[in-house]
Amino acid sequence: EAGVAQSPRYKIIEKRQSVAFWCNPISGHATLYWYQQILGQGPKLLIQFQNNGVVDDSQLPKDRFSAERLKGVDSTLKIQPAKLEDSAVYLCASSWTGSLAAAYNEQFFGPGTRLTVL
């Protein structure tokens, strides 16, 4: 089966510019996650969707970051305006969600988008 797709793979922008990232999860996966991975750190969850609803966006800097998953399939993460500290890899992940074998639901990760803010 196809994996999680992300685009673009790389993006370089100036500070105060806007940028958008796209993610297409594995077909049939109801849960979609966006993580931010700053160099030298582990990924940190920014936002989690269940179908087209937000489950957790407690660590999303809402003054500049926004995300949507309008039809419950693919998703877009936007930064406006970007700051130097937003330089990171943005990872999208998806998982099948259900009560059966819940303990085994695995998150599958895309290749990430590497953002450099100059």
Interacting residue ranges for other proteins, rule: CB under 8 A: 4, 31, 33, 35, 40-45, 48, 50, 55-56, 91, 93, 95, 97-99, 101-112
Q: In the complex, what is the shortest distance from the CB of residue 15 to other proteins, in angstroms, rounded to a whole number?
A: 26
43 or 69: CB nearest other proteins: 43
Please tell me the distance from the alpha carbon of residue 17 to that of residue 8, in angstroms, as a whole number: 16
66 or 95: CB nearest other proteins: 95
Q: In the complex, what is the shortest distance from the CB of residue 16 to other proteins, in angstroms, rounded to a whole number?
A: 29
Q: In the complex, what is the shortest distance from the CB of residue 68 to other proteins, in angstroms, rounded to a whole number?
A: 19
Token pair recorded at residue 6: 């992300």
Q: Are 116 and 11 contacting, i.e. CB atoms less than 8 angstroms apart?
A: yes
19 or 43: CB nearest other proteins: 43
If you search the block for the tokens 């077909």, which residue do you land on? 27
Q: In the complex, what is the shortest distance from the CB of residue 62 to other proteins, in angstroms, rounded to a whole number?
A: 17
Q: Are 57 and 63 contacting, i.e. CB atoms less than 8 angstroms apart?
A: no
Contacts of 71 (CB under 8 A, 6+ apart): 52
Q: Are 108 and 95 contacting, i.e. CB atoms less than 8 angstroms apart?
A: yes
